[in-house]
Amino acid sequence: MNPFKYGCVVSGEFLCPRPELERQLKSYIQSGQNIVVHGERRMGKTSLVRHVVGSMRGIRMLYIDLYCIRTLSDFCRRVLTGLAASNENMSFLKKAMALIHRLRPSVSFDPATGSPSISIDARAAEEPESLEVVMSMIRHLASSEKFCVVFDEFQDILDLDNANVILAEMRSTIQFQSDTPYIFMGSVRNDMLGIFENDDSPFFKSAIPFTVGPIEEKIFANFLIERFRKGGRIANETTVKALISHADSVTGDVQELCEAIWETTGNGSTIDIDDIPAALKLIFSREGEAYGATVRSLTATQVSVLRALAETPQPRIFSTVFMERTQIMNTGTIRAALKRLIVKRLIYEYGGEYRFTNPFFREWLLLKM
Ligand SMILES: Nc1ncnc2c1ncn2[C@@H]1O[C@H](COP(=O)(O)OP(=O)(O)OP(=O)(O)O)[C@@H](O)[C@H]1O
Ligand SMILES: [Mg+2]
């Protein structure tokens, strides 16, 4: 079996320990501190938080994933999905349902797994009061048992109508729960920063920032060597460090590369950097179609800028060299294209530099375009 996993939350043997971050996070949670977890995509935010909170005794994790919510009733349903996953005990669920009776809840059971889920009346959930109803349900439940409430992809709240009113109302119930730690997590850096750092936002400075960056190189290298060994491959420190750097030290991308390396090498073989091209070929064969569709959805100008970014390490965007590469001599046009590419989440700005969100997409562009 492939000893590497990517594209999902990891736990158990697939999770590389991050002792320093785990200790710090645990200590914030123990002191009831609200926390905002920042970090680039696929760094391991969700895995870390779920692992830490999940391993703390006497604390129940209410994990609520707000990914792509569009309406207030989506929000309410996600809270209830998280709630049913946090505790399947019927008396707990009945207590929760009594607290939200205005949303006309009902419970059903998955025929395959037997797991319960709570559904609510969609129309009732669309009423503005429903936010207060579910938030005060959380408050009530957390007053009789220690909870840690985790909102993942929190920035997607901004896509709701009246997002600011909703944020203000959430903040007003959360601020009185000094014993319940809330963790707000998100991968769209600018949006998350806006919610917690703009002084006109209801969540301004309401949570302590906590950054999840790359895993410390030595720790990650040892972990990867051990995973390769487990999967019947031999890898030395120099090679795995090269793999880490090839994937820009992004945890999930490193795992994806290692997964493909394992797939494309034989049992008992020694891994080498010469194995990278075959692994990339496999990644492109899986993802090339999606990359192609992405390129087709762009304008010619955007593609030129993207290609120039791919070709230029640490690009100085408005330098003559860069502009000649794009063949666009108008800085306003380049700036507009960059903005669109960021909105489409293909690139992001980091310390004044533009980086590809997906390093393999960058390599594919260099190869194909
Ligand atoms: N501690 C870890 N040890 C090993 N691999 C990890 C670890 N954390 C994350 N990963 C790898 O990164 C991938 C993404 O992890 P996760 O979903 O936790 O990151 P994330 O930062 O929440 O991502 P997103 O920005 O997409 O929400 C996992 O599938 C796994 O391959
Ligand atoms: Mg995540």
Position 349 scores a pLDDT of: 83
Ligand 1 touching residue 188 (CB < 6 A): no
Q: How far is the CA of 357 from the centre of ligand 2 (A)?
A: 14
CATH number of 17-211, picked from 3.30.565.10, 3.20.20.70, 3.40.50.300, 2.60.40.10: 3.40.50.300
Give the closest residue (by CA) to ligand 1 atom 31. Answer: 6
Ligand 1 touching residue 202 (CB < 6 A): no
CA separation for the pair 260, 282 (Å, rounded): 7
Q: Which helix (H) or strand (E) holds 183?
A: strand 182-185
Pocket test of ligand 1: the residue of 9, 13, 42, 228 to mutate, having most ligand atoms within 8 Å of its CB, is 42
CA separation for the pair 50, 185 (Å, rounded): 11
Q: Which helix (H) or strand (E) holds 166?
A: helix 163-174
For 15, the token pair is: 């999770």
For residue 65, the ligand closest to its alpha carbon is 2
Ligand 1 touching residue 43 (CB < 6 A): yes
Q: Select from 126, 133, 73 the least CA-distant residue to 99.
A: 133
How far out from the chain centre does Cα 283 lie? 21
Closest atom of ligand 1 to CA, residue 18: 1
Domain limits of the chain? 17-211, 217-368
Give the closest residue (by CA) to ligand 1 atom 29. Answer: 6
Q: Select from 349, 338, 346, 337 the least CA-distant residue to 364.
A: 346
Q: How far is the CA of 220 from the centre of ligand 1 (A)?
A: 13
The model's pTM: 0.92
pLDDT block averages, 10 residues each, the chain of length 369: 96 96 97 93 96 96 96 96 94 96 95 93 92 96 96 95 94 92 89 91 94 96 98 98 95 98 98 97 97 97 95 80 89 94 89 88 93
Position 40 scores a pLDDT of: 86
What is the DSSP secondary-structure string of 51-101?
A: HHHHTSTT-EEEEEE-TT--SHHHHHHHHHHHHHHH---HHHHHHHHHHTG
Give the closest residue (by CA) to ligand 1 atom 23. Answer: 42
Pocket test of ligand 1: the residue of 6, 25, 45, 47 to mutate, having most ligand atoms within 8 Å of its CB, is 47
Position 130 scores a pLDDT of: 95
Residue 225: CB atoms within 10 Å = 18
Position 163 scores a pLDDT of: 94
